[in-house]
Amino acid sequence: MERAFLLVGLIERSFHDQTLDQLDSLLDPNLVVHGPFPMEQGAEAFKRTLAATRQAFPDMHIEIEDGAVREGLVFRRWRMTGTHEGEFLGIAPTGRRIQLSGVDIERIQDDRIVEHWTYWDRMSLAEQLGAPGVPLRSDPTEADEPPEMPRRRAEVPLDSP
């Protein structure tokens, strides 16, 4: 499982170094992505999302504050800072500095990331960008329905001591 954490660390490094092509060997081509709004699926779409985020916040820095690995899953709590210098989710550049915290989870299978979850407070980001009330979604025609999340059965019965 330590290898799983290293794989996810390579994503962070390639993101900061702006060498997203390095991700081809790490991401499953059919990567499933879950987020705070409906997202495009697949490794290529994921790389486009990372590139668009980097373009919107060119001085972006992500600090991993905590992490864990368990049963093929990598959990990371992160904090991002950056300056909004490009369009992001429909909001024109504001030049404002932002700070955002979130959690990412990756599912690793056969040394590739096959599933990715990202959670962050989109309303906090909208407020920091001076657009409170903007829902920050990828397409204004999308429904406000949250994406369906896979369910896991509890490993411990609820009535056990």
Compute how many other C-beta atoms are within 10 angstroms of the C-beta atom of residue 98: 19
68 lies in a domain? yes
Give me the domain span that covers residue 14: 2-128
Mean pLDDT within 63-88:
90
Q: Which two tokens stand for residue 40?
A: 């495009």
Residue-wise pLDDT for 123-161, tens only, equals: 888 889 987 665 555 544 444 444 444 444 444 444 444
List the CATH number of the domain containing 19. 3.10.450.50
pLDDT at position 43, please?
92
Residue 6 resides in a domain: yes
Give 140 or 42, the one with higher predicted confidence. 42
Q: Does residue 145 sit within a domain?
A: no
112 occurs within a structural domain: yes
Q: State the total domains in the chain.
A: 1
Predicted structure pTM score: 0.73
What average pLDDT does range 59-85 have in this prediction? 90
Could you tell me if 58 and 83 are in contact, meaning their C-beta atoms sit under 8 angstroms apart? yes
Beta-carbon contacts of residue 98 (< 8 Å; ≥ 6 apart): 57, 80, 81, 82, 83, 84, 125, 128, 129
> Is the residue at 140 inside a domain?
no
**CA neighbor of 99 nearest in space, from 56, 61, 138:** 61
Assess contact for 82 and 97: CB atoms under 8 A: yes
Task: Give the angle subtended at the CA of 80 by the CAs of 79 and 85, to the nearest 5°.
Answer: 165
Within a domain: residue 97?
yes
- The pLDDT confidence band at residue 51, using thresholds 50, 70 and 90, is confident
Cα–Cα dist 17/95, whole Å: 22
Residue 92 lies in a domain: yes
**Cβ–Cβ < 8 Å for 40, 49:** yes
For residue 94, is pLDDT > 80?
yes
Average pLDDT, the chain: 78
**Radius of gyration, CA atoms only, the chain:** 17
The answer as to whether 76 is a domain residue is yes
Cβ neighbours of 60 (radius 10 Å): 19
Take residue 95 and report the two structure tokens written for it: 């030049």
Looking at residue 90, its pLDDT comes to 84
